[in-house]
Structure 1
Amino acid sequence: MISQSPNFDEARYQNDILKDVSRTFALTIPQLPEALRQVIGNAYLLCRITDTIEDDNALSSAQTRQLSDMFSEVVCGRIAAEKFVDELYPLLSDHTIPAEHDLIKNTPAVIRVTHSFNSAQRNALERCVRIMSRGMADYQDTETLDGLKDLPAMNLYCYYVAGVVGEMLTELFCDYSSEINRHKSELMKLSVSFGQGLQMTNILKDIWDDRRRGACWLPQDIFLEKGFILRDLHPDHSDIRFQDGLSDLIGVARKHLHNALIYTCMIPPHEKGIRKFCLWALGMAILTLNKISHHRDFNDGKQVKITRRTVKATILTTSIFATSNWALTQLFKMASRNLPETKISDELLLKK
């Protein structure tokens, strides 16, 4: 398939729809160097399409798997995007928000942008979508209120949802900069931990939202050690055994986010845009973990959501100190000082 440069309307559509499907990425992507903005914006939209297929509960397991595989082929250029839209769009339910309906309908425009990138960029995007779509479909088949079997199962789920995105972003950063590429091996390992820290924070924040739709992504083994069965979890009463298990997971997430800091500090200081892209996500995650840790008896995600004022303060502070590894390390120590720690080794944390 011959690639063509995206026209102005397609590029503009991509920028506009980003604001509707993700406030966070619409905020962070413009901080990146101009050479990375379009490809990373496009990468996010591809992941969002994959996520929409997985999340719409009107689709059967067989339909989800078939459409996920089909979308992977669309990204690779082996199936026309229009055919994919014709199959998926009529099946979408009200569970999928209007902005995502619009995104699915305009998949051909997004894919034309995808196919304008160089081979290294396309390979990174194709690999991410392929792994994410297959992994998420596998986990959807086992979705229950019982939770996942153990922490390794949670790690693998986080890899499919976020760790592979970290790998993709690292591939794109390394393609952009030969200086960053010199540290590729270590960055690739840390990128998985970075993604897991962000995803674990989301899982902990969204415990009750997930349960309302019949899902639980917490690991059974952590809570069984405390004498608690996840199926017994109920928002109307708090159990200290559950809170103790939650504390262990907060400690694991904290260590992953510390690895995210190490990752960020390995990006050359003069690449301030990439650093800010990483730091804003890291800062908001560590502050969210603090709220969860301080309110382990919460029963609604809104109770542990950080305020817009906090988001603005995070952006301002991390932007001021973005080029100083020493200052960033001190900020992390201060922000995480009240969080529990884990004894799990880095070797196990970085193992997929």
Structure 2
Amino acid sequence: MGSLGAILKHPDDFYPLLKLKIAARHAEKQIPSEPHWAFCYSMLHKVSRSFGLVIQQLGPQLRDAVCIFYLVLRALDTVEDDTSISTEVKVPILMAFHRHIYDNDWHFSCGTKEYKVLMDEFHHVSNAFLDLGSGYKEAIEDITMRMGAGMAKFICKEVETIDDYDEYCHYVAGLVGLGLSKLFHASGAEDLATDSLSNSMGLFLQKTNIIRDYLEDINEIPKSRMFWPRQIWSKYVDKLEDLKYEENSGKAVQCLNDMVTNALLHVEDCLKYMSDLRDPAIFRFCAIPQIMSIGTLALCYNNIQVFRGVVKMRRGLTAKVIDRTNTMSDVYGAFFDFSCMLKSKVDNNDPNATKTLSRLEAIQKICKNSGALTTKRKSYIIENESGYNSTLIVILFIILAILYAYLSSNLPNSL
């Protein structure tokens, strides 16, 4: 669970963290017995624990299809991300990846840690893919082919303009949104969403990741990964890597705020996409990552730490998002809260302040007009959290420790 210091500072994180821990144990017990499916679900939990938990709530057939879709694209992404692979080797693999998923003898050793295991044992993913229904297989093959071609294009092309940036994000994430919409439709649970809305769902998540991961990407060995568009960063520095140097801190933060403002363009489409969903499990599956993204942007905005280390939501806040997100009203509430947090950080002297405030006010207007912002709802912005009496915190820990022991032994099968 979260660190002791974080829980002492935010004691109301404890119960959501406890529920998340128990849900994770329950998910691990649900791993199928067949070797190829056991590998896939075990690997899913290793490469994305939070995604692995949310996916478990989907119906069986859709859950399997989304699991394989995710692992196929993670494998494709592992090839793209490995900067030690030469362009001459990498591009043909990316272009042919949609055919490799049908070949249970194919594998390619690359990546590190759990991603290397995924690539070395890819035959398990192929075998599971071949078990899927034809509608699911066709959707996964189509998106994998288009994504591989797009990745190959940007191996040989830098992200120069904002249009390039949107195109790259479309290939690596917007297509994920299109693919998921196709899988939801193939399951019979949802109408087919428009490509435009589906694309925005992916772009909002991807742009958040690109912003948050600046330092990791720029320090990649043997070669930097550079996804911030020159059209934006060249207004502030001569080279993208200059943003990480302390003497450029002021310009770096302005550039960061420009990037966040660009990402906010996609929020209105995302809210529309989620409001159209009917199936509760699919809704949660889509909504939780989107809330995590707006929360991450609120933390990153105007924050020099993006260029110094890792900026991410604390585990307790993540657990709260997972616990609280059940309806569209919860989504409107979360987006309103995090946009308020972001708005409070806007410096009127920032060159993009007017544009940033305009986009945040448009988001807040949608949330207010939804009628979901009641006084009874739980806010993600809590004042004076540190004012808890230390004795009460100790008592709380004792009570919750007893509760955790009880739930662990008696309730894992009821989740």
TM-score (norm 2): 0.70
2:225 and 2:358 map into 1 onto residues whose CA distance is: 26
Q: 1:280 touches 1:315 (CA, 8 Å); kept in 2?
A: yes
Distance in 2 (alpha carbons) for counterparts of 1:229 and 1:100: 31
Q: What does the per-residue CA deviation read over 1:238-295, in whole Å, with 9 as the maximum and x for residues that have no partner?
A: 3433322322221221231342222111101xx2111111111011111110110141
Q: 1:113 aligns with which of 90, 105, 128?
A: 128
- Share of identical aligned residues, percent? 26
Q: Higher Cα Rg: structure 1 or 2?
A: 2
2:62 to 18, 36, 42: 36
Structure 2 distance, partners of 1:97, 1:132, is 22
Q: What's 2:306 paired with?
A: 298
Match of 1:349 in 2: none
Note the residue ranges of structure 2 that are not aligned, 5 or more in a row. Answer: 1-31, 344-355, 363-415
Of 216-225 and 58-67, deviating more is 216-225
Pick closer, same or farther for the CA change 1:103–1:298 going to 2, 3 Å. Answer: closer
Q: Kindly report which structure 2 residues correspond to 1:62-211, keeping only aligned pairs within 5 A, or say none.
A: 62-75=88-101, 77=102, 80-82=103-105, 84-85=106-107, 88-89=108-109, 92=110, 96-142=111-157, 148-177=159-188, 180-181=190-191, 184-186=192-194, 188-211=195-218
User: Residues 62, 287 of structure 1: CA spacing in aligned structure 2 closer, same or farther, 3 A cutoff?
Assistant: same
Among 216, 232, 237, the residue aligned to 1:222? 232
Contact residue 212 and residue 306 of structure 2 kept, 8 A: no
Secondary structure of the structure 2 residue equivalent to 1:149: coil
Counterpart in 1 of 2:324?
317
Q: CA deviation at 1:216?
A: 1.7
- Alignment check: 8 A CA contact 2:243 2:307 kept: no
Work out whether residues 163 and 193 of structure 1, in 8 Å CA contact, stay in contact via their aligned partners in 2. yes
C-alpha displacement at 1:116, in angstroms? 1.9
CA distance in 2, matches of 1:65, 1:208: 25
Return the offset for 1:228.
6.0
Q: Is the 8 A contact 1:163 1:195 kept in 2?
A: yes
Give the Cα separation in 2 of the matches to 1:64 and 1:336: 40
CA distance in 1, matches of 2:302, 2:235: 22
User: Is the Cα contact below 8 Å between 1:206 and 1:301 reproduced in 2?
Assistant: no
Q: CA deviation at 1:135?
A: 1.2
- In structure 2, the residue matched to 1:266 is 276
TM-score, structure 1 as length reference: 0.82
Whether 1:335 and 2:338 are equivalent positions in the alignment is yes
Q: Of 230, 234, 244, which residue of structure 2 is paired with 1:234? A: 244
2:294 paired residue number: 286
Equivalent position amino acid for 1:283 in 2:
I
Unpaired runs of 5+ in structure 1? 1-5, 347-352
Deviations, residues 55-114 of structure 1 (Å, cap 9, x unaligned) = 222211010012223322122x3xx331x32xx22xx3xxx2232222122212211211
Q: Deviation digits for residues 188-221 of structure 1, max 9, x if unmatched?
A: 3211001000000000001111111212211121
Code of the residue aligned with 1:160 in structure 2: it is Y
* Aligned Cα root-mean-square deviation (Å): 2.4
Q: Given that residues 198 and 257 in structure 1 are in contact (C-alpha distance below 8 angstroms), is that contact kept between their aligned partners in structure 2?
A: no
CA contact (8 A) 2:36 2:125 kept: yes
